[in-house]
Structure 1
Amino acid sequence: MLKIGITGGIGSGKSIVSEILRLYNIPVFDADTEAKKLNDRSPVIREKLIACFGKEVYDENGKLNRKRFAEIIFKNPDYLRKANSIIHPEVAKAFSLWAEQRNQYPIVAIEAALLFEADFQEYVDKVIAVYSPEALRIVRILSRDNTQESEVRKRMEGQLPEDDKRRRADFIVYNDPSHSLLQQISDIFARLCPPGAF
């Protein structure tokens, strides 16, 4: 089984690339979505987050109070690192189990904005970085989310710089009007896979 990591900055188009892979019958594990589920359901994460940040990070229904949690961890880089050190290993375990359960597929993928920051590259064979120019990413996010440009830039600053992602990736997919996503993905998998596998 070939395991592929998909990463890129906010607004780069990771989800579009993931959807194209799904059209080719490649299962994709969405790390951000799964992390949210685990934050609510994992007793390991719950116990450690409460020990570090207090009971108020969970609401009366036993679900993570995301607003309160964000207020705590984004004010202090050390708190953010601590929270990630609790959550990311559990997401990695969930991905490994998920992949094992799909061993009938020749290729699986994980989409993760923080793939390198979380060391998820250790669990995959190849990494695809999705790249879009910053100005285009900002336009996309502003049209998608109800937010301000200053907030978008703050979120961008909290991620690994795009140049670092591109340098560390095995392949780069350019998501802008002058490049075809389908053609780029087809070319990548033609290089990675034997004929007929993709």
Structure 2
Amino acid sequence: MLIIGITGGIGVGKTVVCRMFQLLGVPVYDSDARAKWVMHHNSTLKEELIASFGPETYNEQGQLDRVYLGKLAFNNPERLSQLNALVHPHVGSDFKQWSDANAAAPYLIKEAAIMYESEVWRQMNRVITVYAPLEVRIKRLLQRDPHRTEADIKGIVAKQLSEEEKIARADHVVYNNDKQLVILQVLALHQQFLSLSSSLG
């Protein structure tokens, strides 16, 4: 099975690129959305999270308290590593089930913001990095997320792998900079991946 990874920093437009591939009939796995789903619905993971982070991890209705977990983990590298070590194997199992269910497709796409940081890129046949200049990303994010400030956005960007590093490590780059048409880049990649899939047999 040919699996293509899509990554990029916050605000670059990964979701837009993924939607274009979906419109072309390509199944897309959204790692962040599925991680949230697994954390809400996988009883084993729930027990592991409660054991590691306390009963406050879930509220009385059994819903994940993301604010509580975020305060504990996201500014504490050790706790964040602990959280990732618990969640990633379950998300990996979920992806395996999903990919098996979509095995008839010529290729699959897995979107992950931390493709390189989590070593997920090693499981991909090719990796696409979506790129947009920082000033464009800030403008988009301020419109999309009114609760964020420019300082908030720059803080998030500073914690992510640099765009230069992502581009250097990628097999393909989609430029979503409001200057080049994204759809033409996606169509060209789609044809490449269909040919690659055919050659793999």
Which TM class, normalised by the smaller chain length? over 0.9
Partner of 2:175: 174
Partner of 1:190: 191
Query: Which whole-Å CA distance do the structure 1 matches of 2:170 and 2:64 have between them?
Result: 33
- Which secondary structure does the structure 1 equivalent of 2:161 belong to? coil
Q: 2:126 corresponds to which letter in structure 1?
A: K
Q: 2:159 corresponds to which letter in structure 1?
A: G
Partner of 2:45: 45
- Which secondary structure does the structure 2 equivalent of 1:117 belong to? coil
- Greater CA drift, 148-157 or 12-21: 148-157
Partner of 1:33: 33
- Deviation of 1:17 after TM superposition, in Å, equals 0.4
The one-character-per-residue Cα deviations of 1:101-124 (angstroms, maximum 9, x if unpaired) are 011111111111111222221332
- Which secondary structure does the structure 1 equivalent of 2:20 belong to? helix
* RMSD of aligned Cα (Å): 1.7
Q: 1:17 corresponds to which letter in structure 2?
A: V
- Which secondary structure does the structure 2 equivalent of 1:192 belong to? helix
Contact preservation (8 Å) 2:2, 2:197: no
Query: Which whole-Å CA distance do the structure 2 matches of 1:152 and 1:30 have between them?
Result: 22
Partner of 2:138: 138
Partner of 2:11: 11
- Which secondary structure does the structure 2 equivalent of 1:194 belong to? helix
Q: Percent identity?
A: 36
Partner of 2:150: 149
For the structure 1 residues 196 and 71, does the alpha-carbon distance in structure 2 shift closer, same or farther, using more than 3 Å as the test?
A: closer
Query: Which whole-Å CA distance do the structure 2 matches of 1:195 and 1:45 have between them?
Result: 37
- Greater CA drift, 147-156 or 14-23: 147-156
The one-character-per-residue Cα deviations of 1:81-132 (angstroms, maximum 9, x if unpaired) are 1111111221122112101101111111111111122222133211100000
The one-character-per-residue Cα deviations of 1:15-72 (angstroms, maximum 9, x if unpaired) are 0000000110001011111111111111232122122211111111112101111111
Contact preservation (8 Å) 1:121, 1:127: yes
- Greater CA drift, 96-105 or 45-54: 45-54
- Deviation of 1:196 after TM superposition, in Å, equals 10
Query: Which whole-Å CA distance do the structure 1 matches of 2:168 and 2:85 have between them?
Result: 24
Gaps in structure 2 of 5+ consecutive residues: none
Query: Which whole-Å CA distance do the structure 1 matches of 2:125 and 2:154 have between them?
Result: 31
- Greater CA drift, 159-168 or 12-21: 159-168
Query: Which whole-Å CA distance do the structure 1 matches of 2:164 and 2:196 have between them?
Result: 32
Query: Which whole-Å CA distance do the structure 2 matches of 1:64 and 1:196 have between them?
Result: 39
Query: Which whole-Å CA distance do the structure 1 matches of 2:90 and 2:166 have between them?
Result: 23
1:78 maps onto 2:78 in alignment = yes
Contact preservation (8 Å) 1:39, 1:63: no
Gaps in structure 1 of 5+ consecutive residues: none
